[in-house]
Structure 1
Amino acid sequence: MKKIVFLTLFALGTLFAKAQQNLFGAQDIESAVVHPDNTVTFRFVAPDAKKVEVAGDFAEKAEENPVGGVVGTGLLPMTKDENGVWTLTTKPLASEMYMYLFVVDGVATADPNNPYVFRDFATISNVFVVGNGLGDNYLVNDVPHGTVSHPWYPSKKSGKERRLTVYTPPGYEKGKDKYPVLYLLHGYGGDEGEWSSFGRATQILDNLIGKGEAKPMIMVMPNGHMAMEAAPGESTMGFYKPSSEKDRADEPGDFEIGFKEIIDFVEANYRVIPDKAHRAIAGLSMGGFHTVHISRIYEDTFDYIGVFSSTGSLRRVSAEGIYKEYKKGLKKQKENGFELYWIAIGTDDFLFDSNIDFRKTLDDVGLEYTYVETDGGHVWKVWRKYLTWFTPMLFKH
């Protein structure tokens, strides 16, 4: 009888384990395995599939249109073995963080054997990091770590509470020191969580501070869409598929005008040094556009300004409202002075020509800036590097 009970329990346990395995889509194989020589092996079980490819931003030939939401992706063919396992091992890859998906008989799908999946608005991508270089900045290393929290601030401008992502540096909770603040803004497809996921901003800051290359600072990452309370799935709207109609129905200028609410909340609730010399603002794409206009509207508020892959005239509405004749604000910003106005863009970026026009506007008003031109397009591989270069220059005076 005991033997029967034991066998029954064993069978149930095995069945439960298999059910768990199936529930989470595991195939009991490893994929996106990074080898010591920087090659990467992908595996996928699909015995009935006719064709399986990897769509990744590490492929040599990138398509103009993204595959499955992975920007700048190319397609690499996988090979099927006798067990129905498709495999691809890449050539050695440069040290970096990469995004990819599988394309199975023409349908994009996530890799079920890589649990590291990030969301970019309404699309998802698997990710992995190749170390031994630049990518080490994006890994969790053996250094003191800061803390990430998600406080909500009251916004009269939007009529609702809105969610922030806030990084406090190592030792903040147990100390009494006051810190400078970097306000870091996302692009059009992002939200308050994107810089800490795709951007690896918290790992970058941990590692730079740990190596003594950047000053300890607080980093505040707000949601740049005033129509949103928070990132999809984190608001009172619950779980839904994000769309422009739901999430991006902003009135032009609302975020820029309402930005003072964020500053006031941070300075009332965190140990910060509340002066211009200890405030920085930077952003990518739409966030860079926001940075240009926030820093000139509040023209005596920030000593450090970073504009990544952006321009001062990003949208059709940029000639209206607060964007109209913005040279006057730039002139006032110049008169008040600042420590650093840093502009960076890739030569393949679709905003490259607009960035040239933006710099001509700054030249016309005599506003001095530092310009950095790199290769690359409108992608996270570029923006992570910019943040890695920008933050060590902050709060040095």
Structure 2
Amino acid sequence: MKAIIKSAATIIALVASINLSAQESLWNQAELQSPIVNEDNTVSFQIFAPKAQEVLLIGTWMPREDWAPEPVSLQRDSNGVWSHTTKALASDLYTYHYMVDGLRLCDPLNPYVVRDVSSVFNYLIVPGGQGDLYAVQDVPHGSLSYRWYSSPGTQQERRLTIYTPAGYETSTQSYPVLYLLHGMGGDETAWTTLGRTVEIMDILIARGEAKPMIVVMPNGNMSQQAAPGSAPGVLSAPGMDLPLTMEGTMETTFPEIIEFVEQNYRVNAEKGQRAIAGLSMGGFHSLHISRLHPHTFDYIGLFSPAIYPLAGSIPEIYMNLDDSLSAQKNNGYSLYWIAIGKNDFLFDQVARYRANLSSLGLPFTYIETEGGHTWDLWRNYLSQFVTLLF
């Protein structure tokens, strides 16, 4: 009996110590905050990892080595809390994550996350400038809808995302339309999550810097019905190398999207009230859709665009580029806007394309910025481009 009592007491003590340890851990975690954007625009990070040997922070404000930012080491205190404070950062939206003893982790203290292809990142916004365009502000708000449309060309029901400006539901007016296309690995959600399109449009329209417009964001991965997790069937993993990518299907079936929008929304269907723009692969699609349908778009925006088809066999639709560009020139347009970062891997392609446009006599506006192939540039480009429309 004494042995049983002693054993029971030991178990109770062990459970009590575990509970105390768990409560202490929760208490320590509850006291921490991360990230903290300080008044001087420095940002402080903290993570409770008492058994970790190394904690690295990787964020988009850091200098880049090829594609990846160079990580910084956090410093550990006696309580097992690792911390780091950045230098003052420019106003912008930044994403980040941790590496804890080689394991990639999101910040457990920051509930704000976003997916980029198959990776999930935390994000933060530094206010006081460009970053204010990406935060929800006290202005009239538009609406965001996910709509399904029939695509005979792909024999699928497919989903797209549509932004309507504040007042659309109670108005009787017809609106211009911007068709906004994502890059490789993205989908119909990319421009509203990583791209902050809703916040940008709400704010610029409220300021009077952009005209009220409808923004249509389709899925350019023609083998997909919708973003991963939103299509019928099993949960599929996001990926870059998908079937029916940059092989002509997007260009030939795009009129289906226009038809759906113009049948279901109050839009001004004149050429002068339509724009198309996109980043990377979406820039590629915008380039080729606009030249193959030269009577359709009056405003074209290419953000860090791919220009030429993928290596291998070139579908017929991408041949005779110069002839179709000349037809586009003769048909006329109001704006052909190209922007790219100096360190972008597509920079040389764009330089060749600009030379080709000049030789054909096509007028265009060219913006060259610092940076590479990154969302901070594409959000910025969008915020500039929409102020020039309609």
TM-score if structure 2 supplies the norm length?
0.91
Alignment partner of 1:387 is 2:382: yes
Whether the 8 Å contact between 1:252 and 1:317 is mirrored in structure 2 is no
**Map of 1:63 onto structure 2:** 65
Pair 62,311 (structure 1): closer, same or farther in 2 beyond 3 Å: closer
Residue number among 288, 294, 305 corresponding to 1:293 in the alignment: 288
Distance 1:219 1:317 in 2: 34
Counterparts of residues 1-397 of structure 1 (less than 5 Å): 27-28=29-30, 29-59=32-62, 61-66=63-68, 73-244=69-240, 247-250=242-245, 252-316=247-311, 319-395=314-390
Q: 1:327: Cα distance to partner?
A: 1.1
Query: Per-residue CA shift, 1:247-279, capped at 9, x if unaligned?
Result: 444471001110000000000000000010000
Unaligned runs of 5+ in 1: 1-14, 67-72
Tell me whether 325-334 or 263-272 shows the greater mean CA deviation.
Answer: 325-334
Whether the 8 Å contact between 2:307 and 2:353 is mirrored in structure 1 is yes
Whether the 8 Å contact between 1:346 and 1:352 is mirrored in structure 2 is yes
Query: Per-residue CA shift, 1:122-169, capped at 9, x if unaligned?
Result: 111111110101100111111101000000010011111111110000
* 3-state SS, counterpart of residue 27 of structure 1: helix
Report % sequence identity.
Answer: 49
Whether the 8 Å contact between 2:48 and 2:82 is mirrored in structure 1 is yes
Whether the 8 Å contact between 2:248 and 2:315 is mirrored in structure 1 is no
Query: Per-residue CA shift, 1:29-50, capped at 9, x if unaligned?
Result: 3211111211111111110000
TM-score if structure 1 supplies the norm length?
0.89
* 3-state SS, counterpart of residue 129 of structure 1: strand
Whether the 8 Å contact between 1:342 and 1:369 is mirrored in structure 2 is yes
Query: Per-residue CA shift, 1:63-112, capped at 9, x if unaligned?
Result: 2243xxxxxx2201111111111111111100000010001112211111
The number of equivalent residue pairs is: 367
Whether the 8 Å contact between 1:276 and 1:303 is mirrored in structure 2 is yes
Distance 1:327 1:240 in 2: 39
Whether the 8 Å contact between 1:121 and 1:190 is mirrored in structure 2 is yes
Distance 2:218 2:312 in 1: 22
Tell me whether 358-367 or 171-180 shows the greater mean CA deviation.
Answer: 358-367
Pair 251,290 (structure 1): closer, same or farther in 2 beyond 3 Å: closer
Whether the 8 Å contact between 1:41 and 1:89 is mirrored in structure 2 is yes
Higher-Rg member (1/2): 2
Distance 1:338 1:318 in 2: 31
- Code of the residue aligned with 2:65 in structure 1: it is E
**Map of 2:4 onto structure 1:** none
Distance 1:353 1:62 in 2: 20
Pair 243,346 (structure 1): closer, same or farther in 2 beyond 3 Å: closer
Whether the 8 Å contact between 1:311 and 1:358 is mirrored in structure 2 is no
Distance 1:289 1:280 in 2: 15
Distance 1:217 1:263 in 2: 15
Tell me whether 322-331 or 310-319 shows the greater mean CA deviation.
Answer: 310-319
* 3-state SS, counterpart of residue 356 of structure 2: helix
Tell me whether 247-256 or 87-96 shows the greater mean CA deviation.
Answer: 247-256
Pair 380,318 (structure 1): closer, same or farther in 2 beyond 3 Å: farther
Query: Per-residue CA shift, 1:189-225, capped at 9, x if unaligned?
Result: 2100000011111110111001000000000000001
Distance 1:318 1:385 in 2: 35
Q: 1:317: Cα distance to partner?
A: 5.3
* 3-state SS, counterpart of residue 65 of structure 2: coil
